[in-house]
Structure 1
Amino acid sequence: MAVIKTNAEHTRQLARLMRAEAEGEGELGMLMVGNVGVNRVKGDCMDFRNIRSIPDMIYQSPGGFEAVQKSYFYQKARDREVRLAERTVSGERQHPASNALWFYRPDGPCPPTWYNQVNSGRYKKHCFFVPTYGDCPNVY
Structure 2
Amino acid sequence: MGVVKARQQDIDMLARLLRAEAETEGEMGMLLVGNVGINRIRGNCSDFKELRTIPQMINQPHAFEALQHSLYYQGARDRERRLAQRAVNGERNWPAKFSL
**When the two structures are superposed, what TM-score results if normalisation uses the length of structure 2?**
0.91
> Which residue is equivalent to 1:82?
81
Cross-structure match for 2:58: 58
Partner of 1:37: 37
Q: Which structure is higher in RCO with an 8 Å CA cutoff and minimum separation 6?
A: 2
The question of 1:70 aligning with 2:74 is answered no
Looking at secondary structure, tell me which structure has more helix per residue. Answer: 2
The answer for unaligned runs of 5 or more in structure 2 is: none
Alpha-carbon displacement from aligned partner over 1:37-86 (angstroms, at most 9, x marks no partner): 0000111111100100011001101x410001111100001011101100
- State the match for 2:23 in structure 1: 23
SS at match of 2:42: helix
Alignment root-mean-square deviation, CA:
1.4
Contact 1:44–1:51, Cα closer than 8 Å, also in 2: yes
Deviation, structure 1 residue 2: 0.4
Unaligned runs of 5+ in 1: 97-119, 122-140
How many residue pairs are counted as aligned between the two chains? 97
Shift of the alpha carbon at 1:95?
Answer: 2.3
Q: Could you say which residue in structure 2 is the equivalent of 1:134?
A: none
**Does the CA contact (< 8 Å) of 1:58 and 1:65 recur in 2?**
yes
1:5 alignment partner in structure 2: 5
The CA distance in 2 between the partners of 1:88 and 1:72, in whole Å, is 20
Cα displacement (A) at 1:19:
0.6
Q: TM-score, normalised by structure 1?
A: 0.66
Larger Rg: 1
